[in-house]
C-alpha cells in the first residue's frame, strides 16, 4: 500500500502469521494470569472477612462468604487448566516454527549442493583436466625453447671453459704425483705397542701357572 507517494518501506515485515497467532495466545495467557492474581487476592480477603464474621458471631454470613470463596477456588482451578492448554498450544506453535526453519535451512543447503553438482559434471572435470595437461605440456615446450634459445652452442663451450678456469684458480692444484710426497705407510707395528703386547702375554702365562 501507500502508492507512489508512500514511503518506500525499508524492509518487509519479518513478522509472520504464526507470530501473530503466538502473540494472541500469549496475550490470552497474560490475561488469565492477571485474572488469577485478582482471584487470589480476593480469596485472601474473603478468608479474613469470614474470620471477622465468625468473631462477631455471624455464622451464616461467614458460611456465605466461604461459599463464594469455594466457588472462586473452583474458577481458579479451571483457569489453571485453561492456562495449561494455552501454554501447550503456544509451545507447539513455536516448536513447529523452529522445525520449519530447520526444513528451510535444509532446503537451501540442498539447493546449493545441487547447483554445485550442476557445475561439476564429469565431462567438465575431464575437460578441465585435459586442459591443464595441455597447459603443462605447453609450459615444458616453452621451457626448452627458452633454454636453447638464449645460449648458442658456442656460448655453452665458453661457459664450460670459464667453469674450468674457476675451478683451477680457486681450488689448490691437486698434484697428480701426490703419492710421491706422502710418507711411506709403515708395514710393522710401532715399537711401544710391541712391548705392551709382550708383557700381556707374559702376564697370562704367570696366571695360568698360579692356577695350576
Partner 1 sequence: MTESEFDFPWEYNFPPFFTIQKHAETRKQQFLRWKELILAYAKHKNQAIININDESELFHNNKINRTLDRESREMILNELCNSSNAARVNKNTGTYEIYWLTIEEWSNVIYTYALNSGMTNSVLTFFELLNGDDSKDQEFHQLNEQVFMKALKHLETKGKCEIMEIDGSFGVKFF
Site for partner 1 in 17-46 (CB under 8 A): 19-20, 22-24, 26-27, 30, 34
52 versus 91: smaller Cβ distance to partner 1? 91
Asked if 69 contacts 50 with a C-beta cutoff of 8 angstroms, the reply is yes
Q: How far is the CB of 8 from partner 1 (least distance, A)?
A: 16
Region from 11-19, 59-67, 163-171, 193-201 binding partner 1, contact rule CB under 8 A: 11-19
Q: How far is the CB of 24 from partner 1 (least distance, A)?
A: 6
Q: How far is the CB of 126 from partner 1 (least distance, A)?
A: 46
CA within 13 Å, CB half, 52: 7
> Is 11 a residue that touches partner 1 (CB under 8 A)?
yes
Q: What count of residues does the chain have?
A: 212
30 versus 126: smaller Cβ distance to partner 1? 30
Q: How far is the CB of 16 from partner 1 (least distance, A)?
A: 9
8 versus 139: smaller Cβ distance to partner 1? 8
58 versus 97: smaller Cβ distance to partner 1? 97
> Is 170 a residue that touches partner 1 (CB under 8 A)?
no
Closest CA to 18 of 91, 115, 126: 91
24 versus 121: smaller Cβ distance to partner 1? 24
Site for partner 1 in 136-165 (CB under 8 A): none
> Is 14 a residue that touches partner 1 (CB under 8 A)?
yes
Alpha-carbon span 49 to 72, nearest angstrom: 15
Interface map 78-117 toward partner 1 (x if CB under 8 A) = ----------------x--x---x----------------
Other CB atoms within a 10 A radius of the CB of residue 62 amount to 19
Alpha-carbon span 94 to 58, nearest angstrom: 53
Contact positions toward partner 1, by CB under 8 A?
A: 11, 13-15, 19-20, 22-24, 26-27, 30, 34, 94, 97, 101
Amino acid at each position: 500500500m501507500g502508492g507512489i507517494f508512500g514511503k518506500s518501506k525499508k524492509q518487509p515485515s519479518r513478522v509472520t502469521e504464526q507470530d501473530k497467532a503466538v502473540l494472541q495466545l500469549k496475550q490470552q495467557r497474560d490475561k488469565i494470569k492477571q485474572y488469577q492474581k485478582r482471584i487470589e487476592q480476593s480469596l485472601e480477603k474473603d478468608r479474613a472477612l469470614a474470620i471477622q464474621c465468625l468473631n462477631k458471631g455471624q455464622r451464616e454470613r461467614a458460611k456465605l462468604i466461604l461459599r463464594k470463596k469455594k466457588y472462586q477456588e473452583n474458577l481458579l482451578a479451571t483457569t489453571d487448566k485453561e492456562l495449561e492448554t494455552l501454554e501447550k498450544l503456544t509451545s507447539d506453535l513455536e516448536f513447529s516454527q523452529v522445525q520449519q526453519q530447520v526444513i528451510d535451512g535444509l532446503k537451501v543447503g540442498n539447493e546449493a549442493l545441487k547447483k554445485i553438482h550442476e557445475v561439476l559434471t564429469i565431462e567438465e572435470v575431464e575437460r578441465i583436466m585435459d586442459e591443464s595437461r595441455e597447459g603443462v605440456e605447453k609450459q615444458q615446450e616453452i621451457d626448452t625453447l627458452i633454454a636453447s634459445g638464449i645460449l648458442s652452442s658456442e656460448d655453452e663451450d665458453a661457459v664450460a671453459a670459464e667453469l674450468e678456469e674457476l675451478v683451477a684458480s680457486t681450488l689448490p692444484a691437486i698434484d697428480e704425483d701426490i703419492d710421491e710426497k706422502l710418507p711411506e705407510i709403515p708395514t710393522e707395528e710401532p715399537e711401544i705397542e710391541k712391548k705392551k703386547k709382550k708383557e700381556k702375554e707374559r702376564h697370562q702365562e704367570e696366571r695360568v701357572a698360579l692356577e695350576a
